[in-house]
Amino acid sequence: MTEPAFSAPLDPGLVAAILDTDLPQHVIDDLAQSPDAAGEILLNAAYELRGSRPDTARRVLDLLRDRAPDADHRQYAVHMSARLLREAGRAEEADRLIEELMRPGVLGRPMAAVLADEFAEAGDLDRALYCYNVACRSLLAAPVELVEGMDPVGLLPLTGRARVRERLGLPADEHDRAVLAAGEGGPSLVDEMGRLDGTAEEGGTFEDPTARVRVVLTGEERSYYEDVERGLRESAGELRFVVRADPGEIDAHARERGLDPKDPDTLRSWARTLDADSARPVVWPPERNAACWCGSGRKYKKCCGSPAVR
């Protein structure tokens, strides 16, 4: 391995630990070129290596948990470590890591939103509500009138909180009522994209913006989303929105209508059938501090928008 000459100073202990982890040379090169993005680069490397070199992935995550200067990076590393432990059949160790992450005063809002969705999907409603409350702290502190006027995408954690509270049999509070009312009779996905794109015409109709949408099929590998990101950047002048889709949904849509599931027109046809709550359109490119389009729960600048993805 070639020892890098970093273009900006990094903590010497961190550099020594990085060089001792047997990372691929391209990761070392990325770190040398973009040392200020070290956290994102190392998280992406751990994700890529988790299948082929799990021991190296775990060492990278341990390094981030101990030395990452950014609290969000430390928490994402803990979360990914727990995931690897669970995949290895070490559920009790994984649970201990998550409990450590959820200690009062430790859990940050980005990771709280990720955990809240996971707990809600698993039916662990008490912990889901705790995490949603952390993720929604600033929204809950805001006057409900401000919440009523917010973009639906920004209300997703608050919507999740309201639905979990409903499942727990708790009486709706004013934020629950506001966010659930906002979702009733909501716009179609096409209308929502038109609104975001500023293509409203007189009479409240919209130009069809689906010609400028990229429907991205969900995948498992981090490298898949990075490849998609590169393609999105190459087509940036032609795109305006990204919508994620499960391949099974596309196949079912195609079968019902006798379409080719691999035809881009089929993907756009599927998008026209959705309402805005079914699949949130992501304006392309996202703001750097916005949630990444891939659904990881991380900020775009720390995920697919990282300098490490080139």
What's the pTM value of the predicted model, to 2 decimals?
0.61
Write the CB contacts of 222 (distance below 8 Å, at least 6 apart in sequence): 44, 47, 48
- Asked if the model's pLDDT at residue 155 lies above 70, the reply is yes
Asked if 153 and 277 count as a contact pair (C-beta separation under 8 A), the reply is no
- Asked if the model's pLDDT at residue 265 lies above 80, the reply is no
Q: pLDDT by residue (tens digit) across 197-243? A: 444 333 333 344 445 567 777 766 677 788 888 887 777 666 667 77
Q: pLDDT by residue (tens digit) across 11-56? A: 666 777 777 777 888 888 887 787 777 888 888 888 778 778 888 8
pLDDT at 164: 92
Percent of the chain with pLDDT over 70: 75
pLDDT at 138: 86
- How far apart are alpha carbons 123 and 117 in whole angstroms? 10
Domain ranges of the chain: 12-189, 209-302
Query: What is the architecture of the domain spanning 12-189?
Result: Alpha Horseshoe (1.25)
What backbone torsions phi and psi does residue 217 show, to the nearest 5 degrees? -70, 140
Confidence of residue 94 (pLDDT cuts 50, 70, 90): very high
